[in-house]
Amino acid sequence: MGDRGGAGGSRRRRTGSRALSQGSGGPVAAEEEVRDMGAGGDAPAPDKDKDGDDDVGSGHWDLRCHHLQDSLFSSDSGFSNYRGILNWCVVMLILSNARLFLENLIKYGILVDPIQVVSLFLKDPYSWPALCLVIVANVFAVAAFQVEKRLAVLFSYRDVNLWCREIRATKAKAKAASSGRAANGGAAHCTVSYPDNLTYRDLYYFLFAPTLCYELNFPRSPRIRKRFLLRRLLEMLFFTQLQVGLIQQWMVPTIQNSMKPFKDMDYSRIIERLLKLAVPNHLIWLIFFYWLFHSCLNAVAELMQFGDREFYRDWWNSESVTYFWQNWNIPVHKWCSRHFYKPMLRRGSSKWVAKTGVFLASAFFHEYLVSIPLRMFRLWAFTGMMAQIPLAWIVSRFFRGNYGNAAVWLTLIIGQPVAVLMYVHDYYVLNHEALTAGA
């Protein structure tokens, strides 16, 4: 094919030369001959060397070097490989934070002290309310189990067994068992039906499993992967120390230096402190997310051979506030949807009322988890959660695509430091200034 193409090209060149010498076509004939060769025709494409460049030694030159195409940064180009730009962003982020890290070391020295954290717990072991609550919670779990066993309080445990009693009463036990086998076809364990699930083994498996929603037959993994488990345990240890170090070295000095601007109501300095606190706070929150939802929950799931490992979805791609809250904490989202949102819909509530009710419950528990340890009631966490309702409407109404994703990230980066500063300021006023005034 290449030889014939070459011969054809030679014949055209000879024809063009003959026409030019006879004066019949003049420059027009020469232009047509060049256009014919450049457009492809029978002329071969230029050969490529091993680097992808034109092989100038082949003797076949493509006289056309322009094509109809868009610039790579244009949306119409279809180009999507921006890995190099992402790497550049990472490098710039590391360099900018390296400067802040060096500045922090020069100003404050090394403040990281893991022993200090351990000593806080060992100094007064009787003031561990969380551990006491965990121990006492067994009383309520066993009481709910005994009530369920005799009449056949854990919400999910109670509700699922209630549904099983209703199924049993309507003589649909065979249908329920077949659907259970279909849903857990890959499970390595036999299917359990009600009331055979009412055992202490089943109860405590549910209490320790990384889920809030009870099932008679959880999906189970076939074996414990020792290497996977070891990696998760090492991640738990490493990220725990990293979070403690970042809090001691980076956040504590920034928060301490924020008290004077709050006391003087110097708003420009307050905003500067807020922005300075936003970076370490957000970084620690991201590390905490990975530590809890990937390392810890996967380690527990691997130990218990719990098969459903969907503890989070791609919340980082959220283009709306609603999508973020539905995907960043899957265990809580499943519980809210199964035992709160859908029951309200079945009782005739509208979707908007049901969503508002879910946010109200979430706001209550956020405030509870902060106010009880700090021993003060300020409603900052509650207000922040309830503010998500109008914020979700604003983002979905005025921001789309990448702009919506940027708006979600902005609320995560700025919103949390505001609540942190509010609580720290109030705690400082209640505990330090009050003691100083009393002295």
Residues 6+ apart with CB under 8 A from 408: 318, 319, 320, 321, 324, 395
Going by C-beta distance under 8 Å and a sequence separation of 6 or more, which residues neighbour residue 198? Answer: 145, 148, 149, 152, 161
Nearest Cα to Cα of residue 214 among 232, 188, 186, 194: 194
- Residue 48, beta-bridge partner list: 54
Nearest-angstrom CA–CA distance, 396 and 321: 8
CA–CA distance from 298 to each of 224, 226, 233, 235, 313 (Å)? 11, 12, 9, 11, 14
Q: How distant is the alpha carbon of residue 404 from its chain centre?
A: 16
Instruction: For residue 144, give both structure tokens.
Output: 């709910």
Burial of 302 (0-12, 13-18, 19+ CB in 10 A): buried
- Alpha-carbon distance of 219 to 215, in angstroms, equals 9
How far, in Å, CA of 392 to CA of 322, rounded?
6
Burial label, 135 (beta-carbon count in 10 A; 0-12, 13-18, 19+): exposed
**Cis omega before residue 195 (within 30°)?**
yes
Dihedral sign (CA 37, 39, 44, 46):
positive
List Cα–Cα distances, 206 to 101, 168, 306, 339, in angstroms: 44, 22, 10, 16
Among the options 66, 339, 366, 432, which is catalytic? 366
366 catalytic per annotation: yes
Q: Which residues are catalytic?
A: 366
